[in-house]
Amino acid sequence: MSKIDNYLIIAHYHSKGLIRKDFLNFLKKTKKIFKKTILISTNIINKEKLKIPKHIVTIRRKNIGYDFFSYKIGCEYFLQKFNKKLENKNLFFINSSILFVNSTRTINAIKSIKIKKNEMWGFTKSYELKEHIQSYFFSFSAIILKDKDILSWWKKIKPFTKRQAIIDKYELGLSSLMIKKNVKLCSLFKKNIKLKSINFFQKINQRFKEVFLKEIKIYKKNPTNYFWKDIYTRYGIVKIELIKKNPKKINISKLKKILKKKRLLVVDALDN
């Protein structure tokens, strides 16, 4: 059986051009599991660039578009440099919108992913708007890029200025394309998926139905918000948006204590 090599493409952004300490710690550990890591940064300043480990290819680009435009540039670089035997390569994509609270857990979670050639994997699958793998982290076999429709989709990515356009066309669009091409959407985190599939009403007493109904409906919402504790516990990550904005007003008092203990609750560090 041929050895499979893993390649990582990272989309980095910080409004001040900085490399967060948690992010840098994760970068240092990527050498353990990736043949090559390609970091695409929009805004990184020179003194911060010097901090990046030497095993990482760093590409600085203009600050236009969002993470998918960085993913596109990273994918183009990969295809230019490592285009032989794509069937023996896996591609992983991750962006800096997550806080690596425990990067060892994150690395171990990535190592546990076993990609088949007709699968796309992520940490989390969301059913908000429509079924999709959340784009802060996803992966697939590079052989998929030999499909002319999928390759064309990547080549046509544009640097849109509106975040919702990126979500609609690229985050949701990529998963829709994969489904159309009979690529299965798989995720490590499954709690929200189980809530979707289990028919509680055949198993529980009438007086508990209202409680379970509320729980079942959560599967349609963003899992990185509503299941943050499970995701942090298993994969060592937290979405920065949850800490900074907490758009759904979720109780994150326990999370703040965790971050304070780890000295990660710093405004500049979270300025993404």
Average pLDDT of the segment spanning 236-254 = 93
- Would strands 89-95 and 137-141 be described as parallel, antiparallel, or unpaired? antiparallel
- Residue 87 has a pLDDT of 95
Residue 252: what pLDDT? 94
The answer to which of 159-168, 206-215, 220-229 has the lowest mean pLDDT is 206-215
User: Tell me: the pLDDT tens digits for 17-39?
Assistant: 999 999 999 999 999 999 999 99
**pLDDT single digits (tens) 81-110:** 999 999 999 999 999 999 999 999 999 999
CB 231 within 8 A of CB 223: yes
- Beta pairing, strands 98-100 & 237-239: antiparallel
**In the predicted model, is pLDDT for residue 148 greater than 60?**
yes
Q: What is the pLDDT, as a whole number, of residue 88?
A: 96
In this predicted structure, what is the pLDDT of residue 218? Answer: 66
The overall average pLDDT reported for the chain is 90
Using 50, 70 and 90 to split pLDDT, how confident is the model at 199?
very low
| pLDDT in the model for residue 202 | 47
Q: What is the pTM of this model?
A: 0.91
Burial class (CB in 10 A: 0-12, 13-18, 19+), 95: buried
CATH class, range 5-270: alpha beta
Q: Stretch 155-169: mean pLDDT, rounded? A: 93
Which residues have CB under 8 Å from 135's CB, separation 6+? 67, 68, 93, 95, 122, 170, 171, 174
